[in-house]
Amino acid sequence: MEITVGIDDENRNSLNEEQGLLLLRPFAAIGRRVIAWVGSMGAATIFLSLALIRIPGRNQLSRIIQQTYYIGARSITIIMLVSLFTGMVLGLQSYHALVQFGAAGAVGSLVSLSLIMELGPVLTAIMITARAGSAITAEIGIQRISEQIDALTTMRISPVRYLISPKVAAAIISFPLLTSVFDLIGILGGYISAVVLLGLNGGIYLHSVQTYVVLSDITNGFVKSLVFAVIVATVCCYHGYFTHMRKDSHGARAVGLSTTAAVVTSCVLILVSDYVVTSLLV
C-alpha cells in the first residue's frame, strides 16, 4: 500500500511540473527573444564603435568620397521627386484647412515647419534606406558569402576599415545634405501648390516662412538626420556583415533575408528614434 501511494505522489509531482513548464513556456519564449535582441543591440553598438574608430586613416578619403557619391548624389533625384510632391500635398491640405479659419497666410509656416522638423528628416532617411541601404546590405552580404571578406582578413586588411567605415562616414555626410535638399524642394512644392495653383499671395507665403522658421528648428532637423544616418548605416552594414551567421537560411537566400531585415529594422528604428529625439529636443 505504501509503495502505491509513493508512486501516485511521484506521478502527481511530475504532472504538476509539466503543467508548470507549459504555463512558463510563453514567458520563456519572450525571454529568449528579449535576450537575443539585447545581444544584437550590444553587438551592433560594438560594430559601430569599431567602424567610427577606423574612419581616420590612410586612403580613406577616396573611399568616403566614392560612398558619398553612391549614397548621396545618386539618391538626390528620388529625394527631389518625393519632396516636391510632399510639399505640394502639404500646401494643398494646409490651404483648404486654414482658409476656413481665415488663416491662409499661415500656410507657408505650416508647410515649412512640418518639412524641416519632421517630414524632411524622416522621409529622407526612409528613401535612402530603400535605395542605398538595401544595396549596401546586399553588397556586403554577397562579399561575405563569397568569402571576399575572409580574403581581406587573410591579406591583413581590416574589413571594417575597408568596407564599413567609409559607408558610415558617407552616411553621416549625406543625410543632412539630402535633408536640406528635401526641405527646400518641399517648401518650393508648397509654394507651387498654394500660390501658383490656389492663388495665395506669394509674398504672404514667403513672409510666413521667414517669420516663423528659426535656426533652432533647422538645427533640430539636422540632429535628427544625423541620428538616422548612424542608425541606417549601422543596421544595414551589420546585417550584411553577419549574413553568414543567420540560422534560418544560408547562401543567396540569406542575403535576401538580411536585406529585407535591414530595411524593415531601419524603418522601424527611424520612427522610434524620431519620437525619442523629438521628446528630447522639444
pLDDT at 104: 83
1/177: higher pLDDT: 177
pLDDT at 14 over 70: no
Nearest Cα neighbor of 186 from 118, 265, 129, 120 is 120
Nearest Cα neighbor of 176 from 103, 227, 119 is 227
pLDDT at 1 over 50: no
Residue 246 Ramachandran class (φ > 0 left, ψ -120 to 50 alpha, else beta): beta
pLDDT at 236 over 50: yes
How many CB atoms are located within 10 Å of the residue 198 CB? 15
Q: Grid coordinates standing for 196?
A: 501658383
22/224: higher pLDDT: 224
Asked if residues 176 and 222 have their Cβ atoms less than 8 Å apart, the reply is yes
